[in-house]
Structure 1
């Protein structure tokens, strides 16, 4: 009898455990660590009161779109749950998985998000190329910048009128230059960095890795290129611009199939 009672209790315990896990199964499966954190956990309310620009740049990616019209950028991208938001709110939201569309900064609108595509390894296609192609057809010039400290991903790219002018990406985790298309721009030459290239024929020699004139790309380089091309986001607070506000939302789809196709005349 005791064994029967013990057996029944064990069955009940297992059943309760399975039911508990079953009821919690969907949230665990759907709990993407990169998914945007609920806004209500970040703010008591979304603040849209204009404020001064807030610096950002490290451990995130962004677009710099050459236009004084932030609303047109907002309307061109596929973004859901759009809400007005000031700089402080927008930057916090961007670092927690949402997207911030900034007000214009010296003729540039910045789109800040974790969820922008990345420059992929050549010759594999990536999701960034069609996005920059289409946006640059719409706005004339679009730039991409990205950094990620954990894997040491550092990248920048520039498109004008639908054509790629320059694309560079480095992944320190695997010590790879993922992309190096187009000649160095004048601004890159001005910075004067010479990067190690593991694919260089000279890389087979020990002396190549002992050269003092070569270095590795890092997040500081990304900010410097951004500053010479358009806007250095880490220096926004030094610009002494008037208070302003933009929008926050969630990127839905950045593929070329979902974006309006345009041709360059």
Structure 2
């Protein structure tokens, strides 16, 4: 009887060990992609510009020195990326909140695009977009910022010339976040103007404050075209082939609530 027991043990124990090893390996295969930092392979073969801009935020900076622009933005961990792979990363649902794409220069403009760029904020959140734009505007002659997210009904456009803000507008479901400077000709042509409703004193149902024609994504793209380049029409610059960079968005760009005073 003891001999049979020893034989059974000799068979069962190795089987259990093998099952444990296989289970551990399977668990590691399933969990490791979640535990390890997300990485993306970039294609470094030069290609032509590809359209972007829908459900996206981006900077348009008048410079051919994309490397220095990356330094000013505080971007690190850069990898060479062409248009196809760079835009593919920032539109990928699993990667979009981690990376930004720095484009090759197009007609003297360099674009930095990604949903991870700071959005103009108000109320209980720290506005990280304005300080970032001011920092870039101190280093480059012309700086523009755009955001269009129809899914959350948020739109923004801003323009800096020679280090100074010329125009800045941001509006969302909660109302106006930015409204700086006078409407530019392209905005007036689109009918995007602010007007004040004063009403009649003591009139029943009187309302006050600002009333605005709410913008849409086509409005933002039209303003981008009027100020420089509409990224949805950038494929027209077919002779501007090249490669740019993909970079990890700094942790400091993430949304942050205003700390209440003690």
The alignment's TM-score, normalised by the length of structure 1, stands at 0.70
1:187 to partner: Cα distance: 2.7
Q: Are positions 1:225 and 2:226 aligned together?
A: no
- Cα distance in 1, alignment partners of residues 176 and 39 from structure 2: 36
1:158 to partner: Cα distance: 0.9
Q: Contact between 2:42 and 2:86, CA under 8 Å: does it hold in 1?
A: no
Q: Contact between 1:195 and 1:216, CA under 8 Å: does it hold in 2?
A: no
2:163 maps to 162
Q: 1:196 to 1:136 in 2, by over 3 A?
A: closer
1:182 maps to 181
Cα RMSD (Å) = 3.0
1:159 to partner: Cα distance: 1.4
1:128 to partner: Cα distance: 1.1
2:48 maps to 52
1:170 to partner: Cα distance: 1.4
1:161 to partner: Cα distance: 2.7
Secondary structure, counterpart of 2:139 in structure 1:
helix
1:242 maps to 240
1:201 maps to 198
Q: 1:200 to 1:38 in 2, by over 3 A?
A: farther
- Cα distance in 2, alignment partners of residues 94 and 162 from structure 1: 28
2:60 maps to 64
- Cα distance in 2, alignment partners of residues 158 and 125 from structure 1: 21
Q: Contact between 2:187 and 2:193, CA under 8 Å: does it hold in 1?
A: no
- Cα distance in 1, alignment partners of residues 224 and 124 from structure 2: 25
1:205 to partner: Cα distance: 6.4
1:178 to partner: Cα distance: 2.0
* Bigger Rg, which one: 2
Q: 1:193 to 1:82 in 2, by over 3 A?
A: same
Q: Contact between 1:147 and 1:155, CA under 8 Å: does it hold in 2?
A: yes
Q: 1:196 to 1:182 in 2, by over 3 A?
A: closer
The superposition leaves residues 28-72 of structure 1 with CA deviations (integer Å, 9 ceiling, x where unpaired) of xxx8xxxxx9344xxxx4201000101000111000111122122
2:3 maps to none
Q: Which runs of 4+ in 1 moved over 6 A?
A: 203-206
Structure 1 residue runs of 5 or longer lacking an equivalent are 1-22, 32-36, 256-265
Q: 1:196 to 1:202 in 2, by over 3 A?
A: farther
The alignment's TM-score, normalised by the length of structure 2, stands at 0.71
Q: Are positions 1:107 and 2:104 aligned together?
A: no
- Cα distance in 2, alignment partners of residues 200 and 105 from structure 1: 43
